[in-house]
Amino acid sequence: MSNPYQSMVNIAATRPGRLAGVWYWLAWGLGTMSIILSWLSIVPPLIGWTGFGLALVAAVVSQFFLADQTIPHRPRDLAVLTNEMVDRRDHGYRVATRQCRSGGTVLYDGVAVTITAEKIVCSTISPLPPEELDEFHAQEQARVAEAAVGRLVDEVPDFPVDSTLHPIVTVIISEFGKNGIEICRVIEGDVAWAAR
């Protein structure tokens, strides 16, 4: 499968949540318009009641949609670990290793590493814009991220997992932060492109 972002004009415009919100409000508006037209005897009462049902369903669904979009989600805890912290075994080092053991994310050498019971997930930024990333560069970036995980395991003696027993999943994203999107995942050299 090829990179689905290659034909993309605007990444942000393709996010499904925005389009879904438009449909909820459009359904609510049409339902309300049907009710008003029924009150004015321009359309039969059946259309007004149908509009009432449509507006009611749209209003209820939009509340769930808006609640999901507007409640600020607490960002997952992130600890930063540098080579200097590893050498000194200082407070930052202890915070990062504690964070790692509790299932949190550690940012090490530009790679966000999260350990789950089944795998090691590392997130890294694409070396190219999303629409230009190809399979070769995705695999290369995954090798760079896996090497960072290997260094982390080697340099942190109390790292809570054996990287040889846990598969490493590399998630390549456009950027860190709320505007970042997943472009693809690389698992054992195979690239799985994220659906747009």
Cα distance between residue 109 and residue 83, in whole Å? 8
**pLDDT value at residue 139:** 93
Verdict on whether the full-model pTM lies above 0.85: no
Sign of CA dihedral 127, 171, 5, 180: negative
- Mean pLDDT, rounded, for 169-179: 87
- Which comes out higher in pLDDT, residue 140 or 11? 140
Nearest to 125 by CA among 188, 183, 194, 186: 183
Token output for 85: 């912290």
**pLDDT value at residue 170:** 92
**pLDDT value at residue 184:** 92
Does the structure show a pLDDT above 60 at 171? yes
- Which comes out higher in pLDDT, residue 92 or 13? 92
pLDDT category of residue 156 using cuts at 50, 70 and 90: confident
